[in-house]
C-alpha cells in the first residue's frame, strides 16, 4: 500500500501536490463517468418510452374488428327482466315474451304437530324411517332416527342426508310445531317427495302438505310456444343472449334487443387516446428542453421524433376518404389527441359498420387502431423493437464505458503509487544532500578553526 509523504526536508506539501497531479490525471476518467451517466439515462429514457408504446399496443389490440363485434349488450323493455349478451349474439336480434311463471323450490310441511322442538320425533307423523324420492319417483335413500330422537334431531338428520332436501322447525301456534322440508334446488327436476314408513304407494307423501310446488320458470313466446328453465335465468334463450326474470306477469310483454355495447367500446377508444397522449407526452419531455432547465435527456432524438410524428399521422390521415374527426378523434395544435365521446357514441349508433371500419379497418384497409397497433409493435417488440434495440445499444455502450472507468481506476492507483515513490525518493535524496552539506561544513570549519572541537 502506497504511503503519503510530507516535505519534511524540502518543505513542500507533497500530499497536496500528489492530489493535484492525480486530479489532472483523473480528468479523462471524470469525462468517462459523465458519459456513462448520460448513456444510462438515455437507456432509461428509451425504456420509459417503450413502456408507453406497449400500452398503445395493448389498447389498440382491444379495438380489433373481432373485439368490436364481441362488444354486445342486451336491453330489456321491462324492469323485472334483465338480459346480457355474449360475443355470440347477433346485433339486431330481438325476442318478445311474457313471464308466466317463476322457478321455485318445492316446499312441504308435515301434517303432524309437536309441542316443542325438543319433543320426541316419533310423537307425530311422519313415521320413521322416512324415504326421500326425486321428481321421477326414484328413491334416493332413507333416513332413520334413534328411538329417543327429538324433532330437532330429525332436522339435523335430514339436513345431513345429502338427498337434496333441507329441513327446519316451524312454529305455527302456541305449543304447535311442524316439520318443514324444502328442495335444495329450484325447478321441477329438483322436487322431492317424503314417504313415511307407514305409507304405501297409494298414500306416498301424504304425511306432508305441499305449500310451494317445485316448478320451472316459464316464458310464453306466443303461439303456444313455451320456454322453461329450472332457474329464473334462461341461458342462451337466443344465441348469445341470457335472460333473468324476477316477476311473473302473463299480461305484460317484454322485448329484449341486442346491440353494440357503446359504453364498452367508447371506453376502449378513450383508453387508446390516453395511451397515445401518454406516449406523446413522454417523448416530448425527453426530446425537448424547457427554458431554464437542463438539456433534455434525448434532445432532438430523431428516432423518437419520428415515432411521435407517426402516432399523429395514424390519426390524422384519412381512411377510405373518411376523417377520424367523424368519430370524435382530432389533433390539437400542441400535438395531442382529443376524443369526443358523445360524437363517437352517436356515430356508433347511426353507422356501426362505418365506425368499425374506421377504427378497426375493413378488408385490406387498416383502421386507426390497426395502424397504431402495428406502429407500437414495431417500436416495442421485445426482440426487434426499435426502442428495445436503442435501449440495448445504450446498455452495451454503458458497459464498455464502465470497463474503461474500471481500467482507469487501476491506472490511477498505479500512477499515485509512482508519484508517492518519486516524492519519497526526492525527500530521501534531499535529506542525504543536507547531511552531506552539514558534514562538509563541519570539515571546512575545522580547517579554518583547528582548535575548535569537532
Torsion of CA 304, 310, 311, 317, to 10 degrees: 160
Whose grid coordinates read 349508433? 349
| pLDDT given at position 4 | 47
| pLDDT given at position 9 | 54
The full DSSP string for 158-211 is HHTS-SSEEEEEEEEETTEEEEEEEESS-SGGG--EEE-TT--TTTTTTTEEEE
| pLDDT given at position 5 | 55
Residues β-bridged to residue 218: 101, 228
| Separation CA 273–CA 414 (nearest Å) | 58
- Which tens digits make up the pLDDT trace of 382-418? 888 999 999 999 999 999 998 888 888 888 788 788 8
| pLDDT given at position 7 | 54
The grid coordinates of residue 200 equal: 304405501
Mean pLDDT, consecutive 10-residue stretches, the chain (454 aa), reads: 50 75 80 88 94 95 78 92 90 94 97 97 96 97 97 98 97 97 97 96 96 98 97 96 97 94 91 96 91 83 94 89 92 91 91 87 86 93 91 92 85 81 77 79 76 56
Helices 386-448 and 302-316, packing angle to 10 deg: 160
The grid coordinates of residue 132 equal: 326421500
| pLDDT given at position 99 | 98
CB 81 within 8 A of CB 69: no
The grid coordinates of residue 305 equal: 421524433
| pLDDT given at position 2 | 42
| pLDDT given at position 3 | 43
| Separation CA 224–CA 58 (nearest Å) | 50
Q: b/e for 64-78, b at 16 or more Cβ within 10 A?
A: bbebbbbbbbbebeb
Amino acid at each position: 500500500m502506497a504511503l503519503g509523504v510530507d516535505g519534511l526536508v524540502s518543505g513542500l506539501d507533497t500530499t497536496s501536490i500528489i492530489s493535484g497531479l492525480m486530479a489532472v490525471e483523473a480528468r479523462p476518467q471524470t469525462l468517462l463517468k459523465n458519459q456513462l451517466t448520460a448513456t444510462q439515462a438515455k437507456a432509461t429514457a428509451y425504456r420509459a418510452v417503450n413502456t408507453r408504446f406497449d400500452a398503445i399496443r395493448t389498447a389498440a389490440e382491444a379495438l380489433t374488428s373481432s373485439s368490436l363485434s364481441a362488444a354486445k349488450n342486451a336491453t330489456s323493455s321491462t324492469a323485472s327482466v334483465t338480459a346480457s349478451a355474449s360475443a355470440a349474439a347477433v346485433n339486431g336480434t330481438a325476442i318478445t315474451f311474457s313471464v308466466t311463471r317463476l322457478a321455485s323450490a318445492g316446499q312441504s310441511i308435515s301434517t303432524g304437530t309437536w309441542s316443542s322442538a325438543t319433543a320426541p320425533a316419533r310423537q307425530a307423523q311422519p313415521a320413521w324411517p322416512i324415504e326421500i324420492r326425486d321428481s321421477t319417483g326414484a328413491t334416493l335413500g332413507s333416513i332413520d332416527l334413534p328411538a329417543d330422537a327429538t324433532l330437532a334431531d330429525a332436522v339435523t338428520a335430514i339436513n345431513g342426508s345429502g338427498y337434496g332436501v333441507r329441513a327446519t322447525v316451524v312454529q305455527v301456534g302456541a305449543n304447535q310445531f311442524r316439520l318443514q322440508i324444502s328442495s335444495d334446488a329450484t325447478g321441477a327436476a329438483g322436487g322431492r317427495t317424503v314417504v313415511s314408513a307407514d305409507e304405501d304407494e297409494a298414500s306416498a307423501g301424504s304425511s306432508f302438505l305441499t305449500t310451494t310446488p317445485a316448478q320451472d320458470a316459464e316464458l310464453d313466446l306466443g303461439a303456444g310456444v313455451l320456454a322453461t328453465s329450472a332457474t329464473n335465468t334462461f341461458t342462451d334463450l337466443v344465441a348469445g343472449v341470457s335472460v333473468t326474470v324476477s316477476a311473473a306477469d302473463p299480461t305484460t310483454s317484454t322485448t329484449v334487443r341486442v346491440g353494440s355495447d357503446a359504453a364498452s367500446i367508447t371506453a376502449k377508444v378513450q383508453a387508446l387516446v390516453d395511451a397515445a397522449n401518454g406516449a406523446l407526452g413522454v417523448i416530448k419531455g425527453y426530446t425537448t428542453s424547457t427554458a431554464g432547465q437542463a438539456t433534455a435527456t434525448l434532445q432532438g432524438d430523431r428516432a423518437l421524433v419520428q415515432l411521435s410524428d407517426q402516432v399523429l399521422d395514424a390519426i390524422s390521415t384519412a381512411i377510405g376518404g373518411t376523417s377520424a374527426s367523424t368519430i370524435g378523434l382530432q389533433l390539437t395544435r400542441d400535438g395531442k389527441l382529443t376524443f369526443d365521446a358523445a360524437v363517437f357514441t352517436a356515430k356508433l349508433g347511426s353507422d356501426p359498420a362505418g365506425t368499425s371500419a374506421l377504427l378497426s379497418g375493413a378488408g385490406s384497409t387498416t383502421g386507426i387502431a390497426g395502424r397504431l397497433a402495428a406502429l407500437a409493435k414495431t417500436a416495442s417488440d421485445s426482440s426487434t423493437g426499435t426502442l428495445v434495440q436503442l435501449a440495448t445499444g445504450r446498455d452495451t455502450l454503458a458497459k464498455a464505458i464502465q470497463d474503461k472507468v474500471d481500467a482507469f481506476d487501476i491506472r490511477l492507483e498505479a500512477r499515485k503509487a509512482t508519484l508517492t515513490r518519486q516524492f519519497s525518493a526526492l525527500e530521501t535524496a534531499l535529506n542525504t544532500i543536507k547531511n552531506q552539506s552539514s558534514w562538509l561544513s563541519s570539515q571546512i570549519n575545522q580547517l579554518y578553526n583547528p582548535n575548535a572541537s569537532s
